[in-house]
Amino acid sequence: MLGVGVVRTPADADIGMRLVGIERGIEEWIDRFSPELVAVERVFSQHNVRTVMGTAQASAVAMLCASRRGIPVALHTPSEVKAAVTGSGRADKAQVGTMVTRLLRLAEPPKPADAADALALAICHIWRAPPRTASSRPSPPRTASRKRPPGTRPQ
């Protein structure tokens, strides 16, 4: 793990300025860590439309920042993330934090809880991502070839 953080904006700020703040925070992280991929939580329907809208807007900013730089984006649902790290798609934040702490062998759960959620998302993606294609994997190190006597074939 290279790092984890949470972008915060003032709750009373104008939505446009909050999104700009989120964009700046994400851009700083991308500049600092140069990720090969960005995993984003897929927004799902909740009873609280205001929460869904805020989450969707922040997710869109993350996808935009990554896509603008040509960085692939993967989406995972909250229940998929919870199931990946705890075994239950209905786990609460405390259970997710506990399992992230265990899986990453941390001394204590990441704070705030949103940081543990971000790490859980990364863990979920690593475990559930499709295998990388041969062309995207690093080449194996070359080894010195042994000379064979003329007229023989490798076994």
pLDDT reported for residue 58: 95
Shortest CA distance to 35 belongs to which of 125, 153, 97?
125
Q: Is pTM beyond 0.95 here?
A: no
Q: Any residues with CB less than 8 A from the CB of 38 and at least 6 apart, and which?
A: 30, 62, 63, 65, 66, 71, 72, 73, 74
Q: What is the DSSP letter of 132?
A: P
Cβ(128)–Cβ(76) below 8 Å: yes
pLDDT reported for residue 143: 40
All residue ranges of the chain with pLDDT < 50 are 137-150, 152, 154-155
